[in-house]
Amino acid sequence: MTNRALRVGLVGAGDNTRRRHIPGLRAVSGVELVGVVNRTADSTARVARDYGIPKQYPNWQALIADDSIDAVVVGTWPNLHCDVTCAALAAGKHVLCEARMARSVAEARQMVAAAAAHPDRIAMLVPSPFGLECDPEVSRIVTTGFLGDLREVVVTGADDQFHDYSKFLHWRQDSTISGVNVLSLGIMHEVVSRWIPQPERVFAQAQTFEPSRPNPHGDGDLRVTVPDSVHVMTQYGQSGASGLYHFSGVTLTGPGKQVHLYGALGTIKVIFGEHDQVFVSRMGDKELRQITIPAEDLGSWRVEAEFVGAIRGEEAVKRNDFATGLRDLEFTEAVARSATNSRSIMLPLVD
């Protein structure tokens, strides 16, 4: 990069873009937010006005075609991630794409191929926000052999966010927008995959308790095409461990988001909330004890700084490159295939 400012355009400016990406990019020296396009002309104008962004575009293709833009943040719903990302890379722009990499493995593979075709461009995915705080410490504990041989894995993401059936259909309940991912299954699988290997086999069952929800864009109801609940059994070939995933959007007073790792020698339990809580026990202990992570050892959200640093050649992309995103999406697609066909699915996917 030259000494001139890095000029960034925003395709989609939803909650995460406004809350995290805009302030995160502006906190990095030498970065300019020069353009934005949102779903409608009115919302585009509102974002440009509220955040002082000088350029507005009629569609995402026009933003991609602007030669003055160096990098694109793709903050749209997942149904546009593949098209916008591939076009941006082909136009010679760096890309930071929002989580839920794509709707399917097929789309994700297109994005991986586009990134490989432009190795001089940075292609990065926004990571799961869960566990970033405790990740350095949990990773350290795991790598020291605290658990011993891994035996069991429990991953939960169960709450009541979609329990009220009178509320409008959410985009996460529409597979044409969100794809094969169910609720927070993908981002929580990403978290646990920072600490243990990928499973080699999955078997899943899913349930939709209310088949339709009110149409957010008109009269009548729309069909729910993403399950309300999913249970997944996993097997880990090398260690012989097994796992259980439980995800639900209709669980009253559910346990929320947690990861439990049970080994022959110890246990690690992580509860995600306003701050990560880490509990451990070792063979011989009577109960779990919460550990206090020193402030200097806490991880943090630095997505935008990492993206800019990678573009400037100051650091490599740690979370997440497109290969990591494809790996995690293979898991969520395997879950969807298993639930649909009532059979176990091997990983990695070969078709």
Confidence band for 350, pLDDT divided at 50, 70 and 90: confident
Residue 338 lies in a domain: no
Extract the tokens encoding 147.
């658990």
If asked whether residues 68 and 139 sit together in one domain, one would say no
- What's the CA gap between 113 and 48, in Å, rounded? 33
If asked whether residues 161 and 266 sit together in one domain, one would say yes
The whole-number pLDDT of residue 37 equals 98
If asked whether residues 192 and 315 sit together in one domain, one would say no
CATH code assigned at 69: 3.40.50.720
If asked whether residues 143 and 273 sit together in one domain, one would say yes
Confidence band for 3, pLDDT divided at 50, 70 and 90: low
Residue 190 lies in a domain: yes
If asked whether residues 152 and 48 sit together in one domain, one would say no
If asked whether residues 159 and 295 sit together in one domain, one would say yes
The total number of structural domains that make up the chain = 2
pLDDT tens-place string over residues 222-272 = 999 999 999 999 999 877 899 999 999 999 999 999 999 999 999 999 999
pLDDT tens-place string over residues 302-338 = 999 999 999 999 999 999 999 999 999 999 999 999 9
If asked whether residues 112 and 152 sit together in one domain, one would say no
Q: Is the Cα dihedral 285, 287, 288, 290 positive or negative? A: negative
Give the residue among 100, 25, 102 at the shortest CA–CA distance from 69: 25
- What's the CA gap between 115 and 94, in Å, rounded? 9
If asked whether residues 152 and 256 sit together in one domain, one would say yes
Report whether pLDDT(1) > 60.
Answer: no
Question: Which residues lie across from 268 on neighbouring strands?
Answer: 261, 280
Percentage of the chain surpassing pLDDT 90? 96
CATH code assigned at 272: 3.30.360.10
Residue 328 lies in a domain: no
Report whether pLDDT(93) > 50.
Answer: yes
Contact 34, 69 (CB under 8 A): yes
If asked whether residues 150 and 72 sit together in one domain, one would say no
If asked whether residues 107 and 59 sit together in one domain, one would say yes
What is the pTM assigned to this prediction? 0.94
pLDDT tens-place string over residues 196-214 = 999 999 999 999 999 999 9
- Chain CA centroid to CA 336, Å: 17
Mean pLDDT of 5-32: 96
What is the three-class DSSP state of 321?
A: strand
Residue 326 lies in a domain: no
If asked whether residues 203 and 255 sit together in one domain, one would say yes
Domain of residue 249: give its range. Answer: 135-300
